[in-house]
Structure 1
Amino acid sequence: MRFREMAPKPAAGDVTSAVLAIGRPDFPNILIDTLRRQAGVSHCMVFALTRAGAARCLLDAGNIPTGGDLGAAYASQFHESDPNRDALFEGEGGVPIMLPSFAPRMYGARYRKIFFNDSDIVDKCATAIWTDDTCFYVNFYRITSQGRFGNAERARLQTIAPAIGASVARHFQHAATATPDQNLAALFATRAPLSALTPREQEVCRRILLGFSSEAISQALGISLHSTLTYRKRAYERLGISSQNELFSIVLGLLAGPRGLN
């Protein structure tokens, strides 16, 4: 049985749960739950666009019943008339793109009717990131009953968008069978400053990120509680941090950075 410490209430800008769900079948549900909690997002859709002109709907999650139909319509033809298209295709690999704020006048009458009026969507924010020849275009929507995004919610989305975009890209790039620990192990093995930790320090930190208590880490690794605390202290000293939240921040920063998608 795994013992867990009492989890603190997620802080503003905390997208840890979505990051740790990368590669898992429940990633879409955890992603939309994270977006709802952080910025009141009603629905999220992700599209893969290529410079060759192809488009696919990769993710449709939330409470818009016609989301699947909208995704299919966008991928089949409407991606060519998206007013954000120029901004998307001017993007560079690994650099997060935050798209302009939604304004009805940006969209043609038919596009506006299908994707907003008929679908009960009143507002939209979006981000995107290119990896190789694919642009992962992430759209966040609000419906009439919620009203438009407030200033605080827009600011929150701008804060978390790089990590969300990076997480989405990694999820769809890697095999769905990859476990959170495998994802973290790869990150610790290849990316500084995490790769500078000793193997045992990395094992302790990975389990901290996965939600293990100090006692559970000791049991899993077959070491004493004193040793676990010592490895944690040494790891934090090497990383120049003093808390679990700072460890999460390092991981999220690496995932959101240009090399985090390699």
Structure 2
Amino acid sequence: MDALLKELPVHQGLARVFGSLGRDDFWRALVDCLRLLVPLDNALVALMQPGRVPGLLADFEFRAVTGEGEDLADYCAGMYLLDPFYQAACAGIADGLHSLESVAPDQFQQSEYYLSYFRSVVGSGELQFLINHEGAVLGLSLGRQTPFSREEFGRLLCVRDWVLAAMHRHVHLMPPAGRVAVAAAGDLAALLDRLDARLTERERETAQLILQGFSSKAIAQRMGISPETVKVHRRNLYHKLNVSGHAELFALLLQPR
């Protein structure tokens, strides 16, 4: 009986979740219920698909921060192109509960995107419940400044099936298509072309992978070339763009044109 009483808030939260299906307060009810299982600093619901700016359906902040509106504006303005979950959604990903570590490049936490943006906005830990919906991927992002422990991941894994089922049912009752931005988006290649540096196709591909957080070894494997050739491409693109390294390349990409 004591164990059941301890779980009572979760059961009450579940009742609120299923009572809110098809209503505007669904995402808040779902996030509040999940917060009974693991502490969260923030949560975001986004619809992701290739060639489109992610549609932000809901966002929640549970810590005292300033400038969060600007952070989301930066995300929609182009930061999303470096988001590992956006890249995974565009490449194709199965419904489920996914960790940042499972989708991110091998040196993502050393990337300038992570150090100057992601770490302060999302945190060092992120998990996402993802479902495929009509050619897009709907993601519920759970962020925190401290990484999620294996025990916490296990708790969320235990409720994964009903969370995904609730998300599917909600979007069936309340389709998100009419509520998201539909403006066509470019991609990293288009942003690099905008710099008018006359990069070769290989140099442009190398730049994209560097920005996403792939190591030279991982870039070589993905491109089917040697690490020495990657170094040549890196040196040439830095010379053409007149930058000295990854940080300057990232800053150059964000400059308004």
Normalising by structure 1, we get a TM-score of 0.52
String of CA shifts for 1:58-79, please: whole Å, max 9, x gaps: 1101314444433332233122
Give 2:57's aligned amino acid.
Answer: L
Q: 1:92 to 1:110 in 2, by over 3 A?
A: closer
The CA deviation at 1:7 is 11
Match of 1:98 in 2: 98
User: Partners in 2 of 1:58 and 1:169 — Cα distance?
Assistant: 15
The reply to whether residue 159 of structure 1 matches residue 158 of structure 2 is yes
Give 1:77's aligned amino acid.
Answer: G
Give 1:22's aligned amino acid.
Answer: L
Match of 1:137 in 2: 139
Contact 1:129 1:137 in 2 (8 A): yes
User: Partners in 2 of 1:135 and 1:171 — Cα distance?
Assistant: 14
Match of 1:48 in 2: 47
User: Partners in 2 of 1:173 and 1:76 — Cα distance?
Assistant: 29
Q: 1:67 to 1:10 in 2, by over 3 A?
A: same
* Total equivalences in the alignment: 165
SS in 1 for 2:101: coil
User: Partners in 2 of 1:17 and 1:7 — Cα distance?
Assistant: 17
Give 2:78's aligned amino acid.
Answer: Q
Normalising by structure 2, we get a TM-score of 0.52
The CA deviation at 1:15 is 4.0
Give 1:23's aligned amino acid.
Answer: G
Contact 1:57 1:72 in 2 (8 A): no
Match of 1:126 in 2: 128
Contact 1:136 1:165 in 2 (8 A): no
The reply to whether residue 89 of structure 1 matches residue 90 of structure 2 is yes
Match of 2:24 in 1: 25
The CA deviation at 1:125 is 1.3
SS in 2 for 1:101: helix
Q: 1:52 to 1:63 in 2, by over 3 A?
A: same
Long gaps (5+) in structure 1: 1-5, 177-262
The reply to whether residue 78 of structure 1 matches residue 79 of structure 2 is yes
Give 2:39's aligned amino acid.
Answer: G
User: Partners in 2 of 1:120 and 1:16 — Cα distance?
Assistant: 28
SS in 1 for 2:159: helix
User: Partners in 1 of 2:138 and 2:44 — Cα distance?
Assistant: 10
Match of 1:256 in 2: none
* Root-mean-square deviation over aligned CA pairs: 3.4
User: Partners in 1 of 2:165 and 2:151 — Cα distance?
Assistant: 22
The CA deviation at 1:174 is 2.9
Long gaps (5+) in structure 2: 176-257
- Map 1:1-262 → 2, pairs under 5 A: 9-10=8-9, 15-64=14-63, 65=65, 66-91=67-92, 95-96=95-96, 98-101=98-101, 105-107=107-109, 108-117=111-120, 119=121, 121-143=123-145, 147-175=146-174
